Amino acid sequence: MKAEYEAWTEAASSSANIEELAALGVEESDDSMTEQIQGEYARILKKVEDLEFTLHLSGEYDERPAIVAVKSGAGGVDAQDWAEMLFRMYCRWAEKQGFGVEILDETPGDEAGFKSAAARIEGRYVYGYLRSERGVHRLVRLSPFDSDHRRHTSFALVEVLPEPDEQEEVTIHPDDIRLDVFRAGGHGGQNVQKNSTAVRITHLPTNLVVAVQNERSQLQNREVAMRILLARLIDLDIRRRSEEREKLKGAHISAEFGRQVRSYVLHPYQMVKDHRSDFQTGDAQGVLEGEIEDLLKANLTSQVHEPASMNE
C-alpha cells in the first residue's frame, strides 16, 4: 500500500512541477522549453495511465500469483503443438514482465508439443492480468505436420487459477480424493521412468482430475498435484459466485464450452482477434512471442465497461 500511495503522490508532484514549468516557459517566451515539457508530459501521462489501469485489478484474488494450465483440444498433433506454443507465449510474457516462472508439469504430445502443461507465475497482479485468458483459444495455419501442407484449425484450453494461500479456507479431506500412480510418459507414449512416479488425483465430490509427471519422485508430483487441485477448487468457487451474481443481475450466461475466446490466424493472413473485447492486431508473431499486454488490457477494460444487465 505504501508503494502504491507513493506512486500516486509522485505522479501528482510531477504534474504540479510540469504545470509550473509550462507557466514559466510562457512567461519568459522560451520556446526551447517546449521539447522538455512535452517529454515530461508524455512520461507522466504514461505513468498515470498505468496507475489507472491497476484500479481494474481490484478483485479478491487479483494481486496473487497464478497457475496457468494449457491443455490441447481438437486437432491431434497440431493441437498439441498449439498447446506448447500457447504455453510458451505465457511464459515469455511473464519473463518480459520480470515475473518468476516455475514449470509445474509438462505432459509431452504424441509426436510434438504438449498434451498438457502447467506453470506457476510469481508476481504482483499476475492473476488479475491473466484471469481473462481462461477459455478456448483457436489457431488457424498451414500445418507443418501435414504432408500436403493443408490449412488446419486447432484448439487449446487455457486455465488460469489463483495460487492458494497458505491459510486458504478451502480444505481437501483425504476421503474425498483418489490417488493413482503410473509411469511418466514421453513423446510417442513411451515410458521415461522405470518406476511409477507420475500421479493422478481425482477429487470425488467435484470429479476434478489433476495429473502430474514432471518431477522425478512420486512425493514431489503429489505435492504439485495437490497445489493445482486446491487452486482449481478455489477457481470453481470463484466461478460459482460469479454465476450467482450474473443471475441476480439478469445477465445471460453462456455454458458453451467450445466457444473460443480468441483466434490466432497465421494463414492466409496474420491476425489475432479477441472475441470479447473485439481488439485485434496484425502482429501475430509478436503476440506468440509474449507481446500480449495490449490484448490483456483491452479485455480487462472491456469487462469494466460491460453493462450491469444485458436487458439495459
Q: What is the mean pLDDT of residues 44-55?
A: 85
Q: Which residue has the higher pLDDT, 243 or 152?
A: 152
Q: What is the CATH number of the domain that holds 233?
A: 3.30.70.1660
Helix (H) or strand (E) holding 280: strand 280-281
Q: Taking residues 53-75, what's their average pLDDT? A: 89
Residue pointed to by grid coordinates 508439443: 113
CA distance 45 to 279: 22
Pick from 5-14, 177-186, 192-201, 211-220: least confident = 192-201
d(CA 208, CA 72): 17
Same domain, 99 and 35: no
Distance CA 235, CA 229 (A): 10
Q: How is residue 215 written as a grid cell?
A: 518431477
| pLDDT at site 256 | 40
Does a structural domain hold residue 112?
A: yes
Could you tell me if 288 and 145 lie in one domain? Answer: yes
Query: If pLDDT is split at 50, 70 and 90, which confidence band does 97 have?
Result: very high
Residues 147 and 283 in one domain: yes
Is the same domain home to 45 and 77? no
Q: Please identify which residue in the block is written with the cell numbers 510458451.
A: 88
**How much is the pLDDT for 186?**
63
More confident residue, 189 or 1: 1
Contact 230, 238 (CB under 8 A): no
> What distance in Å separates the CA atoms of residue 222 and residue 200, rounded to the nearest whole number?
8
The mean per-residue pLDDT over the stretch 97-116 comes to 93
Residues 298 and 238 in one domain: yes
Mean pLDDT across the chain: 86
Domain that holds residue 194: 66-247+259-304
> Other CB atoms closer than 10 Å to residue 312's CB: what's the count?
8
Q: Which three cell numbers stand for residue 26?
A: 510562457
Q: Do 90 and 116 belong to one domain?
A: yes
- d(CA 201, CA 179) in angstroms, rounded, equals 5
Residue, of 285 and 166, whose pLDDT is higher: 285
- Show which of 28, 54, 80 is a domain's final residue: 54
Phi then psi for residue 307, to 5 deg, are -65, 155
Q: What are phi and psi of 310, to 5 degrees?
A: -70, -15
Alpha helix stretches (DSSP H) within 97-193: 126-130
Residue 71 covered by a domain: yes
With respect to residue 243, please indicate whether it lies within any of the assigned structural domains.
yes
Same structural domain, 25 and 159: no
- The verdict on 156 and 45 lying in the same domain is no
Q: How many CA atoms lie within 13 A of 304 on its CB side?
A: 15
Domain count, the chain: 2
Distance CA(287)–CA(264), nearest Å, equals: 9
What does the angle CA 107 – CA 110 – CA 114 come to, to the nearest 5 degrees? 35
Residue 191 and residue 179: Cα distance in Å, rounded?
Answer: 20
Residues 217 and 298 in one domain: yes
Residue whose cell numbers read 481490484: 58
Q: Which of 50, 137, 93, 123 is nearest to 291 (CA)?
A: 93
Question: Is there a domain that residue 312 lies in?
Answer: no
**Based on C-alpha coordinates, what's the Rg of the chain?**
23
Parallel/antiparallel/unpaired status of strands 135-142 and 260-265: parallel
Q: How many CB atoms are located within 10 Å of the residue 124 CB?
A: 15
